[in-house]
Amino acid sequence: MSLWATAHRRTRSADLLKVPDTVIAAPGGRAAINDNAPAQLATGGSGDVLTGVVAALLAQGMAPFEAAAAGAWLHGAAATEFGLGLIAADLPYALTRVFQKLGAQADV
């Protein structure tokens, strides 16, 4: 068994490869592709914000694979919400608007 597979089994972690279509993978072959990644995310610090979003989901008890997949989608939704001219510091504020819209849809 590879070192990668052993580490993932012990930590129950998932990998997130941030490319135009983000790839989320977990040991055992589970994978997802998130195509919600607008080009404005190609800015310094946006990956740090993504890490924070995923960490927050993990801290609330979400499983690693689901946290990575949801975090990637939310990250892209926040960038789309903000639009052009995005810098990493804009993402948390746009993410708040994304959560508000999701909450309003859930109330329907």
pLDDT, position 106? 83
The range of the structural domain enclosing residue 36 comes to: 3-106
Q: Are strands 31-34 and 15-17 parallel, antiparallel or unpaired?
A: unpaired
* 18 compared with 89, residue with greater pLDDT: 89
pTM of the shown model: 0.86
State how many domains the chain has. 1
From residue 98, how far is each of 29, 39, 43 by CA, in Å? 30, 18, 20
Q: What is the pLDDT of residues 42-79, one digit of tens each?
A: 999 999 999 999 999 999 999 999 999 999 999 999 99
CATH number assigned to the domain comprising residue 7: 3.40.1190.20
